[in-house]
Amino acid sequence: MASNKEFEGPASSEEYVEDYNELIHVRREKLDELRNSGVEPFGRKFNAANYSEQIVNNFEEYEGKYVSVAGRIMAKRGHGKASFANLQDAEGYIQIYARLNDMGEENYEIFKSLDMGDIVGVEGTVFKTKKGEVTVAIEKLTILAKSLRPLPEKWHGLKDVDLRYRQRYMDLVVNPEVRQTFILRSKVIQFIRNFLVEKDFLEVETPMMHPIPGGAAARPFITYHNTLDMDLYLRIAPELYLKRLIVGGFEKVFEINRNFRNEGISTKHNPEFTMLELYQAYADYDDMMKLTEELVTLAAEQVLGEAQLCFQGTEISFNTPWEKIPMLEAVKRFSGLDFNILKSDNEVRNAAKELGLEVDDNDTWGMVLDKVFEEKVEPNLIQPTFIVDYPIEISPLAKKKEEEPGLTYRFELFINGWEMANAFSELNDPIDQKERFLSQLKKRDAGDDEAHMMDEDYINALEYGMPPAGGLGIGIDRLIMLFTNSASIRDVILFPLMRPKD
């Protein structure tokens, strides 16, 4: 297997060429001038006692008070012997005012030399200008970091999507809505943590590097450990490790972390993405449905203020209870095909072909059902909808239904036509599980490199006895996309994967 044993790093020192234009040149000169006049342009520390918005929103309280703020110069308006600038900090921005008479010539010259993007600390008193803007009159100015590159344009911001993703730091500086997206993302994840911890779930961390990748049908990334001289796989799902913990006696566990899948990139797929997975002993998939409903609805209420939102023009309501449709019924409703009547592999293959779908001659009843579902049903599931009872062939880790052994106690949640969650009553019969793995291996032998591998140790764990359990996975990035009205998954991932520019 191909491993990255031959690591080629970035350019060597000889190959490195500095990019250097007029604007950078000017700032480097200003840097030198500051140093020559005894001012250190890169500070060590500054005790900012106040935040911009706190002062702006509580002017009466702060008027005439001495405050200290720190941040980035985002706009400058010089007037000869007096100047204004906007200082942007973590909360917003506040105007600062420099006056020759108050600061003295030397300090005023330093203020005048400031560039957009410079990071400064300001101490002074709060007042309101004639035009009514809350402002800090500078008494002391400290340069904390000289900015050596020009900022993107103040009015249009940074629009080039390529640059925004590659240089997210600049995107965050100049596009305030981007900052809001990631603050909201953090709030949602924080909410989920609190929600689960309050329900006595234990947050755990399981391996990212797996000797055998499992828990999902996906192609893994391969990496290599030098000392052990072995290939390892970046995990495609934490599932099998989390269930080992249920075997071990933890009754409620969850993990919020990255999965890695070596597959196509799209507006809904990033090679690394964040999943919530949780497992609850002695529960089943009905409990998982209730939990999912509660978690998503409360997250929306808590973070958005209401249990509904508008995504790219589509109104979505989280009002419970959400619709619950058996997969067979959903397929019948949207495609007209009744898989209760069409029983043989051959019958369903022909029926699917008549609908214009591409089916493989090896596709079984359940696989065809899944294909028809994806094609004909998924795009219609706009409001939160649970699709329940998936076929066994595509659910190798789910418990089979007692009365319908071709189906499993599994559901997926769809919102806006996207798969948002996947859950089931976990298969805890080790003999059945081993057979499922064996049939997955047959698929691998037939060329399906996304089929599960045999995980002997996982079977071993089940053989000691795993309590019946409900398991749930929620795609966090897609949830955040909905909550932040982001059309692309890259807009909710701080540093999405990009090809190197050269």
Partner RNA sequence: GAGCCAUUAGCUCAGUUGGCAGAGCACCUGACUUUUAAUCAGGGUGUCCCAGGUUCGAGCCCUGGAUGGCUCACCA
Q: Which of 56, 151, 246, 481 binds RNA (CB under 7 A)?
A: 151
Identify whether the C-beta of residue 341 lies closer than 8 Å to the C-beta of residue 377: no
Q: CA–CA separation, 46 vs 69, rounded Å? A: 9
Q: Whose CA is closest to 291, among 162, 195, 189?
A: 195
The yes or no reply on residue 158 touching RNA (CB under 7 A) is yes
Decide if residue 357 touches RNA (CB under 7 A): no
Interactions with RNA, residue window 237-296 (CB under 7 A): 261, 263-269
Residue 354: closest CA among 329, 337, 330, 377: 337
Site for RNA contains 202 (CB under 7 A): no
Interface with RNA includes 444 (CB under 7 A)? no
CA distance 194 to 264: 33
Tell me if 286 sits within 8 A of 467, measured CB to CB. no
Judged by CB under 7 A, which stretch of 5-13, 56-64, 92-100, 226-234 contacts RNA?
92-100
Stretch that binds RNA, among 51-59, 60-68, 99-107, 223-231 (CB under 7 A): 99-107
Which of 16, 155 has the CB closer to RNA? 155
Task: Report d(CA 163, CA 469) in Å as an integer.
Answer: 46
Nearest distance from residue 228's CB to RNA, in Å?
28
d(C-alpha 453, C-alpha 447), whole Å: 13
354, two tokens: 């008549």
Count of residues engaged in binding RNA, rule: CB under 7 A: 76
Taking CA atoms, 422 is separated from 385, 387, 475, in Å, by 12, 10, 9
Please pick, from the candidates 95, 181, 297, 408, the single residue that binds RNA as defined by CB under 7 A: 95
> Applying CB under 7 A, does 133 fall inside the site for RNA?
yes
Q: Which pair of structure tokens corresponds to residue 488?
A: 């692309």
Residue from 419, 430, 444, 468 touching RNA (CB under 7 A): that is: 419
Among 275, 397, 423, 469, contact with RNA (rule: CB under 7 A)? 397
Where does this chain touch RNA (CB under 7 A) — which range of 97-105, 277-285, 307-315, 455-463? 97-105
Strand partners, 232: 223
**Binding segment for RNA among 35-43, 160-168, 224-232, 307-315 (CB under 7 A)?**
160-168
493 binds RNA (CB under 7 A): no
Nearest to 30 by CA among 149, 122, 121, 140: 149
List, as one string, the DSSP characters of 110-141.
Answer: HHHH--TT-EEEEEEEEEE-TT--EEEEEEEE
Q: Which one of residues 35, 65, 154, 333 is an interface residue with RNA (CB under 7 A)?
A: 154
Q: Of residues 473-492, which lie at the interface with RNA (CB under 7 A)?
A: 487-488, 490
Rank residues 304 and 394 by Cβ distance to RNA and give the closer one: 394
Q: Which is nearer to RNA, 76 or 258 (CB)?
A: 76
Smallest distance, Å, CB 113 to RNA?
8
Pick the binder of RNA from 394, 453, 454, 494 (CB under 7 A): 394
- Smallest gap from residue 200 Cβ to RNA (A): 27
Distances (CA, A) of 9 to 109, 322, 474: 44, 51, 36
Give the nearest distance from C-beta 423 to RNA in angstroms.
Answer: 11
Nearest CB to RNA, comparing residues 103 and 196:
103
The answer to whether the Cα torsion of 433, 438, 443, 449 is positive or negative is positive
Percentages (nearest 5) of helix, strand, coil residues in the chain: 35, 25, 40
The reply on whether position 45 binds RNA by CB under 7 A is no
Q: Give me the 46-85 binding string for RNA, x by CB under 7 A, dash otherwise.
A: -----------------------------xxxxxxxx-x-
Query: Exactly one of 90, 145, 161, 183 binds RNA (CB under 7 A); which one?
Result: 161
Q: Give the phi and the psi of residue 52 in degrees, each rounded to 5.
A: -55, -55
Instruction: Out of 5, 44, 45, 131, point to the residue binding RNA (CB under 7 A).
Output: 131
| Secondary structure of residue 379 in the 3-state scheme | helix
Shortest CB 178 distance to RNA, Å: 13
Judged by CB under 7 A, does residue 353 bind RNA? no
Under rule CB under 7 A, residue 407 binds RNA: no
Cβ at position 84, least distance to RNA in Å: 3
Q: Binding to RNA by residue 36, rule CB under 7 A?
A: no
Long-range own/partner contacts, residues 233-236 (CB < 8 A, 24 or more apart) = 233/209, 234/208, 234/209, 234/210, 234/260, 235/206, 235/207, 235/208, 235/209, 235/210, 235/259, 235/260, 236/260, 236/261
Q: Calculate the CA 165 to chain-centre distance.
A: 14
Helices (H), 159-311: 161-166, 168-174, 176-198, 239-247, 285-304
- Within 10 angstroms of residue 315's Cβ, the number of other Cβ atoms is 10
By CB under 7 A, residue 37 contacts RNA: no
Nearer to RNA, 121 or 152 (CB): 152
Stretch of 139-147, 195-203, 224-232, 395-403 contacting RNA, by CB under 7 A: 395-403
